[in-house]
Homo-oligomer: A and B are copies of this chain.
Amino acid sequence: MSETVTRTRKSKTSTQKRILDAAETLFAREGFEQTSLRQITQEANVNLASVNYHFGSKKALIQAVVARYMNVFMPALEAELKQLDERPSIDSLAVFESFKAPLVSLTQVHKRGTEHFLRLLGFAYSETQGHLRRYTQSAFGDVLQHLLALLHRANPKLTEQDMFWRLHFVLGATVFAQVSGQALIEIAQAEFDEDADIQTVIDHLIVFIAGGLDSQLDG
Contacts and interface: CB of A to CB of B under 8 A. Distances in A.
Interface of A: 30-31, 33-34, 93, 122, 125-128, 130, 133, 137, 160-162, 164-166, 168-177, 179-180, 183-184, 187-188, 191-192, 194, 201, 203-205, 207-219
Given A192-B164, A207-B219, A34 B180 contact: no
Contacts of A166: 204, 208
Contacts of A125: 176, 179-180, 183
Given A203-B219, A209-B212, A171 B161 contact: no
Contacts of A210: 215, 217
B201 A207 contact: no
Contacts of A170: 173
Most buried by B among A30, A183, A203, A207: A207
Given A130-B183, A162-B204, A211-B213, 19 more contacts: A125-B176, A125-B180, A126-B180, A164-B187, A164-B192, A165-B184, A168-B177, A169-B177, A169-B204, A172-B176, A172-B177, A207-B215, A208-B215, A209-B212, A210-B215, A211-B211, A211-B212, A211-B215, A212-B212
Contacts of A122: 126
A140 B172 CA distance: 25
6 contacts: A125-B176, A125-B183, A137-B187, A169-B176, A169-B205, A176-B176
